[in-house]
Amino acid sequence: MSTYDELGAHVSTAGGIHHAPGRAAEIGAGVFQVFTKQPSRWAEPQWDPGTVNDFHAAVARNGAWFTVSHDSYLINLASPDPLLWRRSADCFRGELERAARLGLDAVVTHPGNATDGDPDSGIERNATAVAEVLEAVAGPRVLLELTAGTGTSVGGTFEELNRIMRLVPAPMNERVGVCFDTCHAWVGGLDLAADFDGVWMRADDTFGAHRIDLFHLNDAKAPFGSRLDRHAGIGEGTIGLDPFRRLMNTRRFHRVPKILETPKGDDGVAADRRNLAVLRGLRPC
């Protein structure tokens, strides 16, 4: 185990995926998230074995202990359009296959949009795709990201995430967990400020908070309950510092990886270091 704590950030893969572990080390992080492809394009990357080997070597050299990718923004596993659903499922399979080659621990996925206005059917379509891909690809876990619940998106409540997980049959559902995004939770109506303990009680009562395998730590630019997904630096938004202080000091989540997706501005390294320092400063010395 490295000397790093459980905090990290989404880091750039500019110049090649094998540069990501070093960029995580540069900000003092032993956990990190990446895109394994351009997130707004369908094109699938082609890696030579040397690139994959270089990534593995960099992970070992820099002491990373939890690594995760985020899937493409184009993927919509809840789509009612059979052609888009099929293309999304194939793209998602490609994401898991790349994650397996890299030895990543997990892939974070947005549950998608039920653009026909039927969220129940969208949830069923998502679960079908997740089950299909997990059965085909061994290795990484799939983490369903709690969304802001905007428009036709599914996965904006604990109940919807629970339904997806329950619809993925055994034994594949053992590889499905939750990514809890603090900004999404806040703007989606989970009151981390006034009802911090109640949020986790509600999680326990639905899918079980032990299935939260990753946190995305982001403050919010938009008001509570607005369903507007706009991230802000830690302590610089409408959530404020206190919920982050409580989360950083909640024993049950102490070893759950926590990754920043906060704005990077003109100097991403400085921004990540600053936000990580704020979070670390919320724990007693």
Sketch the domain layout of the chain as residue ranges.
Answer: 7-280
Rounded to 5 degrees, what angle do the CA atoms 207, 114, 150 make? 75
Q: How far apart are CA 240 and CA 114, in angstroms?
A: 32
pTM of the full structure: 0.97
7-280 to CATH, choices 3.20.20.150, 2.40.10.10, 3.30.70.260, 3.40.50.150: 3.20.20.150
pLDDT at position 1 is: 38
Q: How many CA atoms lie within 13 A of 62 on its CB side?
A: 24
70-87 average pLDDT score: 98
Instruction: Give yes or no for a contact between 121 and 130, defined as CB atoms under 8 angstroms apart.
Output: no
261-283 average pLDDT score: 97
pLDDT band for position 3 (cuts 50, 70, 90): low
Q: How far apart are CA 229 and CA 220, in angstroms?
A: 8
Write down the residue that tokens 């759950």 correspond to.
256
* pLDDT tens-digit readout, 170-192: 999 999 999 999 999 999 999 99
* pLDDT tens-digit readout, 245-259: 999 999 999 999 999
Task: Name residues whose C-beta falls within 8 Å of residue 65's C-beta, 6 or more positions apart in sequence.
Answer: 1, 2, 4, 30, 31
Strand spans (E) along 146-223: 176-181, 212-217, 219-220
Mean pLDDT of the chain: 96
pLDDT at position 269 is: 97
